Amino acid sequence: MFKIAVLISGGGTDMQSIIDGIKSGYIKNCSIEAVISDNPNAYGIERAKNEGIATYVVDRKSKLESVSDQILKIIDGKVDLIVLAGFLSILSGDIIEKYNNKIVNIHPSLIPAFCGPGMYGMNVHKKALEYGVKVSGCTVHFVDSGTDTGPIIIQKSVPVYDNDTTEDLQQRILIEEHKALPEAIKYLADGRVKVTGRKVEILEEL
């Protein structure tokens, strides 16, 4: 069984897409062992509890120990993959080394556009509209010691229209996020992802 931990900060819709993918059989031989939130008020916690998934809160406002170290204590040696699904804290330190190419994130733009420090949530869509891009989308990538700098696994694009609001663009991209994240986890659970430097290859099914 391919075991994953999902990290969230808000409503958990990206996490729900993973749950639905597992329940439907689209993602095979995979289980969510833990859902960890850095926000005690995140609705995604309730989503996880409703599915009988173990939940943990690592409050990002606590100064006792870094969020990354607290998360590592919870999941170390217990999961094969860590999935950042709308997780706002930046992971750093030992967890990055121990889970090299075993942490993935979903970002609401086509990296390397509109990414890096401060680029999260509506900030991303606001910048995309201000820049006047004609296409945006989402990226599933591995997490490394930088911010949104790891190798890219999957990207999905959407058109940007002249009359779009940030909410319009967010919702259009969210639909693709809910496809891209389960797809990436499916490939990883099936052992079909090969990483060579920055290049990620999706191998054919056996």
Confidence of residue 64 (pLDDT cuts 50, 70, 90): low
CA-to-CA distance for 172 and 155, rounded, in angstroms? Answer: 14
Give the pLDDT confidence of 195-205 residue by residue, as tens digits.
999 999 999 98
Phi, psi of 126 (to 5 degrees): -60, -45
Catalytic residue ranges: 107
Euclidean distance between the first and final Cα of the chain, in Å?
A: 18
Parallel, antiparallel, or unpaired for β 30-37 and 103-107?
unpaired
User: 144-198, pLDDT tens digit by residue?
Assistant: 999 999 999 999 999 999 999 999 999 999 999 999 999 999 999 999 999 999 9
Torsion of CA 22, 48, 10, 200, to 10 degrees: -30
**C-alpha to C-alpha distance for 169 and 101, rounded to whole angstroms:** 30
Between CA 26 and CA 24 the distance in angstroms is: 6
Inter-residue contact 2 to 30 (CB < 8 Å):
yes
Identify the domain containing residue 96 by its residue range. Answer: 2-202
What is the crossing angle of helices 122-131 and 166-189, to 10°? 120
Q: How sure is the predictor about 63, in pLDDT bands with cuts at 50, 70 and 90?
A: low
Distance of CA 30 to the CA centre of its chain: 16
CATH number at residue 175: 3.40.50.170
If one counts every other C-beta atom within 10 angstroms of the C-beta of residue 112, the result is 11
The number of distinct structural domains making up the chain is 1
Residue count (the chain): 206
Categorize the per-residue pLDDT at 60 as very low, low, confident or very high, splitting at 50, 70 and 90: confident
Cβ burial, residue 41 (10 Å; 0-12/13-18/19+): exposed
Per-residue pLDDT, averaged over 108-122, amounts to: 96
Give this prediction's pTM: 0.95
